[in-house]
Amino acid sequence: MRALATTAAIFAAVLLLSTPAFAQSTLAGVVKDSSGGVLPGVGVEASSPVLIEKSRSVVTDGTG
């Protein structure tokens, strides 16, 4: 019985500790000019020391 409880506790700890690894977030937004019009073709860069590649660059599409 004690081995089952220990195994269950270890399994629960692994599940709880691995949850942040799956917590991928999304960054979304719209690039607009001062008049409120969307700006397609603009380069946007997001950087963070926790990113594997340290920064990500994208170009906005037709919806800005």
pLDDT in tens, 32-45: 888 888 888 888 88
In the DSSP assignment, the letter for residue 36 is S
Q: What is the pLDDT of residues 1-35, one digit of tens each?
A: 667 777 777 767 666 665 555 555 677 788 888 88
- Compare 63 and 41 and report the one with higher pLDDT: 41
- Domain borders along the chain are 2-59
